[in-house]
Structure 1
């Protein structure tokens, strides 16, 4: 005999969250391995743009972070060839040089102590949408982790290798988890590497769906209270970790070398 068919939604949500917390397994990869996995995941999901884009995560000491070497594509990143750099982009561990555009990551980390990972890429659909100078419009349930959580920078400041661009992007991001950068790309953040990876995946899908919908007609908005409800329901650390683990399993079938 069913026991839950008369329960209110609030109670069912609470039960589901408890079950997720107790059932969904955490991973045991190091931060270096998770960053390398993220690079391969994004490479396989449309974020590759040659040498453009940077992925960083806070390092063991304040003012330090891990990032990839300039000259390597996302599909070449391994846990062993990542760099540890400081805010001046001086290499503390590893060989090679970081992307000079990493400078603006320092400004985001300084402005957002809650952020532990930043992903900046130029995926195809995000880049196309950015050329229209229109904000991301969230109007589908799957995309709701970005509902009222994606900022928009309409003016393009040029290549982000100066401190001015860092201040501008960090200021435009504000307290949001992501930002669409006109004539440029996207920036996703997370309290964890897993969260940032999932948000980066999501923003590219959101841009693709928005372009498809705009080509067919006028996008209809969802009710704000339902958008916020879905945002909070999907945006749980256990959900982000489970999604990341799935993407990792997919990619480890052909990218197992990234863990080395």
Structure 2
């Protein structure tokens, strides 16, 4: 099982001996040979990087559109639960403020004109007709953005399988390649005290997240954060699916009596180096936005609306 201890990532890993068949509970699946250079997993060119804007107002317009698409994607995946859930975007013009969904509006209906801009005091200073603020969104996200200036976007919702796994109060086991995306890169916040309406609680959550990409809020839900909207959406969708996979694997193991086989630390580390970095998350998120752009606006793009046709 992964730990929450911060460690320095290495560029290579040690070859370990493969286990014998049927060896003990919680055995590790280790390889005799490295699988190759993790840096080869994604092409290193402009097509794998987010666009750069010289005009901050055009950047704001583009990012608000992407944030609205992120909500549409969350809605399509069934991540909405009543009025719970929020995704925030640090404003590129005033980094001390952030854009968020208005309280009480379904994810699937949100457009860029509906988004509201919130300052560091929790005051709504811009937005559409509905300027209601979910104070829980402010209590959590304001502290996350304040604690780590590199976080441009953060997402939290009460997704079905995330909620179920959150009830276990434990970290994910490295049972699959996808799980390794979160190897030593997620944590568990175990202090459930009800709806988060206190800034101090938000600070504790932000501190628990630290520089990791994902957080399991025990008895609550999932949270992901990162440098781009695309990676945050990609991480959240994958986090939810890995939680689902963990629950199915746990049930299968309990029912059959066959122990789960975890991926070894060296292999998990190598896989994280290939798939778990910010650029990989951004690139993995692009297809979701391509589909949303086409379904919502009939435009085929690779990097985003107005940049170039696919």
- Residue 79 of structure 1 deviates from its aligned partner by 1.1
- Determine the C-alpha separation between the residues in 2 that align with 1:188 and 1:196: 6
Asked if the contact 2:116/2:125 (under 8 Å) is kept, the reply is yes
Asked if the contact 2:172/2:179 (under 8 Å) is kept, the reply is no
- Determine the C-alpha separation between the residues in 2 that align with 1:185 and 1:127: 5
SS in 2 for 1:30: helix
Other-structure match for 2:275: 234
Q: Which of 44, 48, 62 is equivalent to 2:80?
A: 48
Structure 2 gaps, min length 5: 1-34, 53-60, 254-258, 299-304, 306-310
TM-score (norm 1): 0.87
SS in 2 for 1:63: coil
Q: Relative to total residues, which structure has the larger helix share, 1 or 2?
A: 1
Asked if the contact 1:138/1:206 (under 8 Å) is kept, the reply is no
Other-structure match for 1:159: 195
SS in 1 for 2:95: coil
Q: Which of 224, 232, 243 is equivalent to 1:188?
A: 224
Alignment of 1:216-231 (within 5 A): 216-217=252-253, 218-231=259-272
Other-structure match for 2:14: none
Q: Which of 65, 68, 76 is equivalent to 1:36?
A: 68
Deviations 1:237-257 (A, max 9, x none): 443333222111223343339
Asked if the contact 2:89/2:99 (under 8 Å) is kept, the reply is yes
- Determine the C-alpha separation between the residues in 1 that align with 2:98 and 2:196: 18
* Residue 97 of structure 1 pairs with residue 132 of structure 2: yes
Question: Which has the larger Rg?
Answer: 2
Query: Size of the alignment, in residue pairs?
Result: 248
SS in 2 for 1:249: helix
Other-structure match for 1:9: 36
Alignment of 1:139-158 (within 5 A): 139-158=175-194
Deviations 1:183-204 (A, max 9, x none): 1001100011111111111110
C-alpha RMSD of matched pairs (Å)? 2.2
Asked if the contact 2:83/2:104 (under 8 Å) is kept, the reply is yes
- Residue 46 of structure 1 deviates from its aligned partner by 3.1
Alignment of 1:107-126 (within 5 A): 107-126=143-162
TM-score (norm 2): 0.74
Other-structure match for 1:212: 248
Deviations 1:153-177 (A, max 9, x none): 1221211111121012112112211
- Determine the C-alpha separation between the residues in 1 that align with 2:249 and 2:36: 31
- Residue 216 of structure 1 deviates from its aligned partner by 0.4
- Determine the C-alpha separation between the residues in 2 that align with 1:236 and 1:251: 24
Q: Which of 95, 98, 101 is equivalent to 1:62?
A: 95
